[in-house]
Chains A and B, each alone.
Chain A
Amino acid sequence: MDRRWIARAVVALVAGCGPAPAAPAPPVRFMHTLSPPEAAALDELLAGRAEPVERTLLPFSRAEAVVGATLARADDCPDLIRVDATWLPALAAAARLVPPPPALAARDWTPAARDLATAGGALVAVPMSLDGLVLVRPSAQPAPTPWPPSSLDALEAEAAAATQGARHGLGLRVDGYWLVPFLRARGADVADGGRGTLGIDGPAAEAALAELASLFADGIAAPPAPPGAEAETEAARFHRGELALLVTGPWAYPALATPGPDGLTGLDVAAVPGAPRGAQLLVVPTCARAPERAWALAAELTAPATQVAWSRRLGLVPTTLTALAAAAPLAQATARALADATPLPRHPLSAALFDDLSPAVAAVVAGDATAAEALAGVRRAWTRALEAR
């Protein structure tokens, strides 16, 4: 036999006897509620990543329930979940979360973001972006005076003044979340499970709801959008110039603003007095199969460079001081507008409050019920919820 064939056989034998190659690690499972533009940005970010990431999109309306049920079953568990800040208290109370590693916890998170990622006095999540309600107007149009409005009354007055013909002074959603500034302006608020207060059990809440409904009735606020088509309707009206002012959040920026070299442009942002502030957080459940790799992914998704890039592309508000300093002007303006906003009560009940508040707001705006009637039903529902807790 030829010597070369013998040598090849020996090499093949030695190679065959070597250690078996390590099996590839299973992909990190990431469950999220990203909007389509955000999901596209995520896909691009992860496209060049060596370790694959399995992404699962949850409809926002079912995400809290699905996440809760999934983590309770713990048989098909994701490694990393993007959650709304209002869901965090319930997850933390159920001890479903793994705290972030010290190195990640020690990042220069903005105080507002760190606060929203904290439950029971400990950081249990990594803040991905800050959000809440802000006042938006086309920057190409003359600003109403005074700008920004110093109070909700001033905002309503400016909206009324801007209402003319087919042009409405204000864009609002028929949603309990949009009622919060009105409640707070009149001295009411949503229920606080921690203190056991309903927040809407006085005339102030009824006045706030009636005030919101009157904006629609008077034509100051644009007519309610069809259910499920709120975002598209708002964007279309905004671009047609039918809205002088729009109360919305950073999630709507990609549809409202114009992409430019320095990020999204064309929007002037100001604070909505009494607005709620929230955040999108990354959490690792206790049932995660690969928590270390999950936190590594979370670190990538919240890296300053990523946050700056997404602030330019999507208008997302960074949650680290480093990224915020270098963020797109629109994101920085939003951060300033949210500086005085107040988070919803940090209680497991808070997220579910809007299940009953939003239908009540819709009933009053539609004229099917008075504010007193609608809020009475909400009080009964919230009382049941508080009792259940």
Chain B
Amino acid sequence: MRRGSLAVRVVGVLALAALIPTLAIGALAFARTRADLEREVTRGHLALIRALGAGVDATLQDARRTIEIAAATWADARTQAEPTDAADGRATARLRARLERDVPVIARLAIVSPRGTPVAGGPLPPGVDLGAGSFGGYVGDAGFGDGGPRVPLVVQARSRTGELCAVFVAEIDLAFVSTALRGARLPAGAQVVVVDGRGTTVAGSDPAVVLGADRRGEPAIARALGASAEGHLTEGGVLAVYRSLSSYQSLRGVRWAIVLTQPEHDAYAVAVATQRLTLVVAAVALLLAIALGALLAARLTRPLVALTARADAIARGDTSAAPVVRGPGELGHLATRVEEMAVRIGERAELQTALARGDRLASVGVMAAQVAHEINNPLTTVLGYAALLAEDKADDHPDRAGLELIAAEATRMKSIVAGLLGYARAETAGDRPEATAPGAVGRLVAALLAPSVRKAGATLTVDLDGAPPIAFDSHALQQVLVNLVTNALHATPGGAVTVAWQAAPGGAVAIDVCDDGPGIAPADRPRVFDPFVTTKAAGVGTGLGLAVVRHLVTRAGATIAVDAAPAGGARFRLTVAAAPVVPPPGDA
């Protein structure tokens, strides 16, 4: 495909048509995919930490309810906090031991009186109060001892009447939180930590997490501790979602938070892979589209290219019949119309040429008749007197040569006048074609031209015997053959001239006059039939012979063409329709 051609432009348009929506839809899909994925990832992570937080909450609530029931049962058995006797003291000790044994998250249990004095298990841990205003208990902030992270769970022990008898303070071992987090099926690369209200790490899904570390400086932790509910942020290539555990409104500690962090490249790994795959698929699809577009464009524009070439040929004047360009739909229709148009243009050109030639020939005919009429008689007089004067002169008379020259030139002028008269006669000859036997005419022509043939030192072979009768006036045929043979003798002095016939398509008869002379150049062939056009030396021809031939042929409805003879000279082919067979009288 040439640069700038229609096919290249069609491919370009197709590529653009494919590329622009692909890029637009792709960009939109990428943007939407990223936004949707971020939202979904965030939502999923939030759901995960909500579930994890709820699990932690449920464990703490279970512990609280268990201790609450134990405390209420214990309180119902007495009206004051302190054990009243040794048996009561042993029962209290058994209760503590059983709770510590059956509720695994309880690391230690202490009982204090409403005034804060120890009843069993030691004094209140530092920072722990009796739960005034707490509706019965609470979870405090984490502390770290030898056994790991601990959190106080305070439960008020009230008797059956609702009266406060004591306060149960359980140290909850938060190792269960880390265990739960490590058992969770976290997303790739994700970590979950739980921090207390001071930003201290209480639990983590990663065994490498340092419990007790102060993480308030981390953006996600700081944001989580400063938030009322839940949220997310992305910073430093890490996606973080967090939830304030206080938002459960349970007994859990104040400002506790659960935070999930995940590197962005892990969080959006699927999206990145999908995007890459999409890019590859889009690129392949685009290339395929362009390749198919190129093929389609070439196929689509092929008829157009052929039509363009045909139009160029028509513009150059080649209106000869050509195969109709095949094309789909409108292209095929256009090709048919173009061919029809070419035919009409050719016909019109021929018509115009014929009209022009007809006018010229008519003018020549009129002029020839007038010239012949006006000149012939004076020439006869000049010739006669020249002959008479010459007869009276001896051969060595000094005037004799001049008189003979006058007679010769006058004879030559009569020849020209005779040619003009012949052309003029051709104007009226052959209007009524008759059935003519070419063989007889051929023999007559051979006899007529025998002197000229001898004079030219050439040979003439006429073989028209056996040719069927043709629809051509016999005199016109004789004139045509005489002119053609004379023309050939001029072209090939000392050469060979043949006149032969052969059957032509459609029952016509083709009569060829060939010589072995130099032939006629292809460029001159269209003009050789024009009047006064001759390739002979000056004074040899009048330029009217072939014009008379074509005029006679055209008037008879026959055709005459010139090309190269097989022997190398010129060949004039006269194609004439066979004469209609006339039924014998009485057949009608």
Interface residues of A (CB under 8 A from B): 27, 29, 32, 34, 36, 39-40, 42-43, 54-66, 69, 76, 228, 351-352, 354-356, 358-364, 368-369, 373-374, 376-378, 380-381, 384
Contacts and interface: CB of A to CB of B under 8 A. Distances in A.
A364 B129 CA distance: 27
Interface string B225-246: 1111100000000000000101
A24 to B, nearest CB: 14
A55 B226 contact: yes
B161 interface: yes
Nearest to B134: A61
Contacts of A39: 228-229
6 smallest CB-CB distances across A and B, nearest first, come from: A377-B163, A359-B162, A54-B226, A360-B162, A369-B161, A363-B162
Contacts of B135: 61, 355, 358
A378 B163 contact: yes
Nearest to B132: A352
B133 A55 contact: no
A66 B138 CA distance: 11
Interface string B122-153: 00000101011111101000000000000000
Contacts of A62: 133-134, 138, 254
Contacts of A380: 163
Contact of A377 (B131, B162, B249): B162
A363 B160 contact: yes
A381 B114 contact: yes
A63 B171 CA distance: 21
B550 interface: no
Nearest to A32: B228
A351 B229 CA distance: 26
B300 interface: no
Contacts of B164: 355-356, 359, 377, 381
B68 to A, nearest CB: 9
Contacts of B161: 360, 363, 368-369, 373-374, 376-377
B162 A57 contact: no
Contact of A42 (B115, B129, B132, B228): B228
A356 B163 contact: yes
Given A359-B158, A368-B161, 11 more contacts: A39-B229, A56-B255, A58-B255, A62-B134, A64-B132, A228-B249, A355-B135, A358-B135, A358-B162, A369-B162, A376-B163
A23 B258 CA distance: 30
A356 B133 contact: no
B262 interface: no
Contacts, number: 117
30 contacts: A29-B226, A39-B228, A39-B229, A55-B226, A56-B226, A56-B255, A57-B228, A57-B255, A59-B138, A61-B133, A62-B138, A64-B132, A65-B129, A228-B250, A354-B133, A355-B134, A356-B164, A359-B164, A360-B162, A361-B162, A362-B162, A363-B158, A363-B162, A369-B160, A369-B162, A374-B161, A374-B163, A380-B163, A381-B164, A384-B115
Contacts of B251: 59, 61
B246 A356 contact: no
A57 B251 CA distance: 13
A36 B247 contact: yes
Interface residues of B, number: 34
B376 interface: no
Contacts of A361: 162
B159 interface: yes
Contacts of A368: 160-161
A360 B156 CA distance: 13
State the main secondary structure of chain B at its contact with A.
loop
B133 A65 contact: yes
A363 B75 CA distance: 13
A61 B138 contact: yes
B160 A43 contact: no
Contacts of A65: 129, 131-134, 138
Contacts of A58: 246, 254-255
A52 B288 CA distance: 54
A66 B229 CA distance: 18
Contacts of B252: 59
B133 A359 contact: no
Nearest to A84: B133
Given A361-B162, A369-B160, A377-B159, A352 B133 contact: yes
A375 to B, nearest CB: 9
A378 B162 contact: yes
Interface in B239-274: 244, 246-247, 249-252, 254-255
Given A62-B254, A65-B132, A355-B132, A56 B225 contact: yes
Contacts of B228: 32, 34, 39, 42-43, 55-57
Contacts of A378: 162-163
Interface string B418-453: 000000000000000000000000000000000000
Contacts of B162: 356, 358-364, 369, 374, 377-378
Contact of A384 (B114, B133, B246): B114
B132 to A, nearest CB: 5
A219 B428 CA distance: 139
Nearest to A379: B163
B532 to A, nearest CB: 84
A43 B131 CA distance: 30
Nearest to A358: B135
B163 A57 contact: no
A354 to B, nearest CB: 8
Contacts of A42: 228
A35 B164 CA distance: 29
A373 B160 CA distance: 9
Nearest to B255: A56
B152 to A, nearest CB: 12
A381 B163 contact: yes
Contact of A351 (B133, B246, B249, B254): B133
Contacts of B132: 64-65, 352, 355
Contacts of A27: 226
Contacts of B138: 59, 61-62, 65
Contacts of A359: 136, 158, 162-164
Most buried by A among B135, B161, B246, B249: B161
Contact of B254 (A59, A356, A358): A59
Nearest to A385: B132
A36 B246 contact: no
Contacts of B163: 356, 359-360, 374, 376-378, 380-381
Contacts of A59: 138, 246, 249-252, 254
A29 to B, nearest CB: 8
Given A62-B133, A351-B133, A57 B247 contact: yes
A64 B135 CA distance: 12
Nearest to A351: B133
Most buried by B among A27, A32, A352, A374: A374
Given A64-B133, A374-B162, A378-B162, A57 B246 contact: yes
A57 B129 CA distance: 20
Interface string B63-84: 0000000000000000000000
Contacts of B159: 377
Contacts of B255: 56-58
A354 B129 CA distance: 17
B280 to A, nearest CB: 41
Contacts of A43: 228-229
Most buried by B among A29, A373, A376: A373
A58 B132 CA distance: 15
Contacts of A369: 160-162
Contacts of A60: 249
Most buried by A among B114, B133, B244, B246: B133
Contacts of B246: 57-59
A55 B225 CA distance: 8
Interface string B161-180: 11110000000000000000
Nearest to B161: A369
Nearest to A381: B164
